Structure 1
Amino acid sequence: MMDVSYYPADYTVQKMGGKAGKEPYARVIYSRPATGGRNIFGEVVNFGKPWRLGANEATEIEFFTD
Structure 2
Amino acid sequence: MTVDLSGARWFKSSYSASNGQCVEVAFLDGGLVGVRDSKNPTGPALAFTPAEWTTFTTGLTNGQLNHP
Instruction: Verify same fold: TM over 0.5.
Output: no
Q: TM (normalized to structure 1)?
A: 0.23
Return the structure number with greater helix share.
Answer: 2
TM-score calculated relative to the size of structure 2 = 0.22
Structure possessing the higher radius of gyration over alpha carbons: 1
Greater relative CO (CA pairs within 8 A, separation 6+): 1
